[in-house]
Amino acid sequence: MTDKRTTNRALVRHVLLPTIFLTVALTGGVRVAAETGALVFLPPPLVTLLLALMLLALFVRGRAVVVGAWLSGELSALAVVSHALTLAALFFASAQSFNSVLPDAGLPRWMLSFFFLWTLWQNQFSAFDARRLLRSLAALFGTAFVVKHLLLASLYATGGGGWLRQLAGALFEGFTSAALGGQAYAPATGYVSFFTLALYVCGLLLMPPAPEEGTREPARAVDIIEMFRQLPPGDRERVCAAILDEGAAEVTQQVAK
């Protein structure tokens, strides 16, 4: 049982995770031309690379990714290279995830990019709350997806006059096509983007903080204090209460002896 579990974990780390993240890095830049149906690949712009770097910094800060364990000197050279490639694939997959939901040009792209930057920048210096970060990112990704693949896509659709097109026209009334960055893509582009985001989330869920249980360094007091500071206020109170209860029990036992 232990050998099978170790083998499965190794397959996830060395095969499945790189495959998922490389697929996301590929599909995140795919667009389907509206007229010809040809596949167009757009490289990640500079702003998405910056967003991906800030997001990975938050992963490291929240110990969702322990870089020291992934690139530990106790591992073999082949394992370190494999882990480094996995982390690189995670970086480019993050950049392409942003690329898939941000408009390709125009004012909406810069507005949504600013919101992403503001959210990630605030979390770099505020008390880290993983739940709040996930909620904020989910809301921003969802908003960007709706703006790009529903509102803007319906606005530049060649035919039809449904309520979504009318809503998009009302929201962006007064903006020129150049200001909105209006390049029409086929509806299949939205499905590709949805698949990209879903696959990216699956990769994050499968990625362990550290690759091996045995390579984790012993917890230090400084690390424990930092992790305690990152807890929400309610969890801090529970930890303090548990420590006080345990300390009181030890004192009672010593007095009884």
For 154-203, how does the pLDDT look when each residue is reduced to its tens digit (9 = 90+)?
A: 665 544 444 444 444 444 444 444 444 556 677 788 899 999 999 998 99
Question: Does 17 share its domain with 131?
Answer: yes
Question: Does 232 share its domain with 121?
Answer: no
Query: What's the pLDDT band for 222 if we cut at 50, 70, 90?
Result: low
Select the more confidently predicted residue: 2 or 71.
71
The whole-number pLDDT of residue 13 equals 85
The whole-number pLDDT of residue 49 equals 94
Question: Tens digits of per-residue pLDDT, 69-92?
Answer: 898 888 888 888 999 999 999 999
Query: What's the pLDDT band for 257 if we cut at 50, 70, 90?
Result: low
The residues, any chain, with a CB within 8 Å of residue 136's CB and separated by 6 or more, are: 119, 123
Question: Does 155 share its domain with 247?
Answer: no
151 is in which domain, residue-wise? 2-217
Question: Does 151 share its domain with 67?
Answer: yes
Q: How many structural domains is the chain composed of?
A: 2
The whole-number pLDDT of residue 56 equals 92
Question: Does 44 share its domain with 59?
Answer: yes
The whole-number pLDDT of residue 223 equals 62
How far apart (Å, rounded) are the C-alpha atoms in residues 130 and 55? 12
Question: What six digits make up the tokens of 201?
Answer: 């989330």
How far apart (Å, rounded) are the C-alpha atoms in residues 257 and 254? 5
Question: Does 191 share its domain with 88?
Answer: yes
The residues, any chain, with a CB within 8 Å of residue 8's CB and separated by 6 or more, are: none
Query: Strand pairing partners for 31?
Result: 40
Query: What's the pLDDT band for 27 if we cut at 50, 70, 90?
Result: very high
Q: Which value, to the nearest 10 degrees, does the dihedral of the CA atoms of residues 130, 133, 137, 139 take?
A: 110
Task: Report, as an integer, the average pLDDT of 91-111.
Answer: 86
Nearest alpha-carbon partner for 181 in 148, 228, 230, 215: 148
Question: Does 106 share its domain with 169?
Answer: yes
Question: Does 35 share its domain with 155?
Answer: yes
Task: Report, as an integer, the average pLDDT of 218-231.
Answer: 64
Question: Does 55 share its domain with 176?
Answer: yes
Three-state SS annotation for the chain: CHHHHHHHHHHHHHHHHHHHHHHHHHHCCEEEECCCCCEEECCCCHHHHHHHHHHHHHHHHCCCCCHHHHCCCCCCHHHHHHHHHHHHHHHHHHHHHHHHHCCCCCHHHHHHHHHHHHHHHHHHHCCCCHHHHHHHHHHHHHHHHHHHHHHHHHHCCCCCCCHHHHHHHHHCCCCCHHHHCCCCECCHHHHHHHHHHHHHHHHHHHCCCCCCCCCCCCCCHHHHHHHHHCCCHHHHHHHHHHHHHHHHHHHHHHHHC
Question: Does 7 share its domain with 132?
Answer: yes
Question: Does 170 share its domain with 253?
Answer: no
Judge whether residue 229 has pLDDT over 80: no
Question: Does 14 share its domain with 127?
Answer: yes
The whole-number pLDDT of residue 21 equals 95
